[in-house]
Chain A
Amino acid sequence: MFNLPTPQIGGPELFVLEFGDIVAYFSPYTALLFAFAILFTVLVIVSRPERQVDIAFGGDAYYTKEVNPDLLRFQRFMAIACGLATLGAMVTGDVFNFTLFASLIGITNIGIVAAYRNRHVLNAAFQYGIVAMLATVPLFGGAAIILASTGTLSMWELFGGTVAVPLIAKAFLVLGVMGEGMAPFYIAKAEITRAQGAPFILMVHVSSLLLFLRVMEIVISM
């Protein structure tokens, strides 16, 4: 209608790194997302877990919550791994690699959420794990249908406009990413943001937000 001159919503590429036919690249859009992800990964690496204090109502008494160092270490490792997987999903130029990074984010999110020995939290983590596993079916299915119908998985070819990607493949891709990025809902359900060692939980929100932004760019550009 207004003839906006935007052939690709990501903008022109700034930097390209080729590993054979697997190409990692930055556009202004993905570079911004990458910088955001790297900022939060660094925050996770340097941050100290918080010590929570519960105050008993009706008196001066309070007690501090114990933080299990082993679980905390595991959770921090998972948060850093989740940050790295998010970085990978932001820069990759291959649809299948994107789906692999998305499922890696799903696995690390299970790890982050499951690092509590609380029954409600573990229940939520289990339900999320089921959803994340089911989401790999449409995720890989979408990539497979793209490969079967266009003969390529490279975003460079798919974004060109000369090949038509079927709508069902795009829908599958979005559905799969929705499943992998569902973790914040389960966190809200189990109220883990109020559990001990809370800063690492942020990584779940950051990764799913960035994953949604990236898959929207991919699906619109294809």
Chain B
Amino acid sequence: MEIAYPVGLIVVAAAIIIGFTALVREKDDLHRILLVDLAEILGLVLIALVATDLAEALILPGLVVGISELLAVSEVYIAKEGFKEPAGPAFRIEVMDSAPGILALILVAYGIILSGFTGGAIAAVGAVFYFMCRGHAVQFELIETVSGYAWAIWIAAFFIFMFLPQYWFFGVMMAGGAILVKVMAKMSLVGTMRRGGPDV
């Protein structure tokens, strides 16, 4: 820790100088968005260098803020350049017709085995891939309802931790399962965004 932190700081400082120099020299707007996203990662690296539990808890909100700013700036860029959504399917690759079923199955199964936040993310990647490739004909109300119940179960698990600590294992199982379903439901909505949904 004593030697790793200053060395890490020096590396990050060098990376920040390189990143900002590149940003000054770059004139293309799209490339500047990408460079800014890279620079934002360096802010997270600065937090990660602290290497305590608290720092770990700070990375997730920092990441969320960074992603939301990236989304906002990208939307501004799209509006600024006047890009329109493509009318037909954007691209056709054969693997997108054959692979989704088996890949989504593997990812979702592995995610359920992992459970918790990580499992939810992995299972969600499978669902996103499936929806992106195959299109979707699902009721969004159903996904939203499932996600809402999962959230309620997650909160109930926290109440178990607080008021009935002797049943902690039950609480862990509830929280792990619920966050799995919730992250998966939320992220699978992302996969339906660019494929001709009526209301997304």
B24 to chain A, nearest CB (A): 11
Residue of A110, A145, A148 near B69 (CB, 8 A) is A110
- CB contacts under 8 Å to B, within A110-142, are 110-111, 114, 117, 119, 122-123, 125-126, 129-130, 132-134, 136-141
Residue of A110, A136, A138, A147 near B50 (CB, 8 A) is A147
Q: Which residues of chain A are near B69, meaning CB under 8 Å?
A: 103, 106-107, 110, 129, 132-133, 136
A208 to chain B, nearest CB (A): 16
Of A100, A130, A139, most buried by chain B (CB within 10 Å of CB) is A130
Q: Judge whether A31 is part of the interface by a CB distance below 8 angstroms.
A: no
Q: Which residues of chain B are near A107, meaning CB under 8 Å?
A: 65, 68-69, 72
Of A106, A117, A130, A144, most buried by chain B (CB within 10 Å of CB) is A144
Asked if A129 and B73 make an inter-chain contact with CB atoms under 8 angstroms apart, the answer reads yes
0/1 interface trace, chain B 53-88, chain A, CB 8 Å (1 if under): 011001001100110111011011101100000000
Q: Judge whether B16 is part of the interface by a CB distance below 8 angstroms.
A: yes
A-B contact count (CB 8 A): 98
Among the 9-residue stretches B40-48, B117-125, B134-142, B178-186, the one with 4 or more Cβ atoms under 8 Å from chain A is: B40-48
Asked if A147 and B72 make an inter-chain contact with CB atoms under 8 angstroms apart, the answer reads no
Asked if B49 and A148 make an inter-chain contact with CB atoms under 8 angstroms apart, the answer reads yes
Q: Judge whether B199 is part of the interface by a CB distance below 8 angstroms.
A: no
* Residues of A in contact with B, size category: 20 to 34
In the bound complex, CA of A133 to CA of B65 (Å): 9
Asked if A144 and B47 make an inter-chain contact with CB atoms under 8 angstroms apart, the answer reads yes
Asked if B76 and A140 make an inter-chain contact with CB atoms under 8 angstroms apart, the answer reads no
Asked if B54 and A147 make an inter-chain contact with CB atoms under 8 angstroms apart, the answer reads yes
Q: Which residues of chain B are near A153, meaning CB under 8 Å?
A: 54
Q: Which residues of chain A are near B36, meaning CB under 8 Å?
A: 130, 133-134
In the bound complex, CA of A133 to CA of B20 (Å): 12
Residue of A117, A134, A145 near B46 (CB, 8 A) is A145
Q: Which residues of chain A are near B66, meaning CB under 8 Å?
A: 133, 136
In the bound complex, CA of A215 to CA of B61 (Å): 20
Q: Judge whether B39 is part of the interface by a CB distance below 8 angstroms.
A: yes
Asked if A126 and B73 make an inter-chain contact with CB atoms under 8 angstroms apart, the answer reads yes
Q: Judge whether B190 is part of the interface by a CB distance below 8 angstroms.
A: no
B50, closest chain A residue (CB) = A148
Q: Judge whether A104 is part of the interface by a CB distance below 8 angstroms.
A: yes
B36 to chain A, nearest CB (A): 5
Additional A-B contacts beyond A96-B61, A114-B72 (16; CB < 8 A)? A107-B65, A107-B68, A110-B73, A110-B76, A126-B73, A129-B69, A132-B69, A133-B69, A136-B65, A136-B66, A137-B39, A137-B42, A140-B43, A143-B47, A144-B50, A145-B46
Please, could you name 17 A-B residue pairs with CB atoms under 8 Å apart, sorted by A? A96-B61, A106-B69, A114-B79, A122-B76, A122-B79, A126-B76, A133-B37, A133-B70, A136-B40, A138-B43, A140-B46, A140-B47, A143-B58, A144-B47, A147-B50, A147-B58, A148-B5
* A residues apposed to B, CB below 8 Å: 96, 100, 103-104, 106-107, 110-111, 114, 117, 119, 122-123, 125-126, 129-130, 132-134, 136-141, 143-145, 147-148, 153
* B residues apposed to A, CB below 8 Å: 5, 16, 20, 23, 29, 32-33, 36-37, 39-40, 42-44, 46-47, 49-50, 52, 54-55, 58, 61-62, 65-66, 68-70, 72-73, 75-77, 79-80
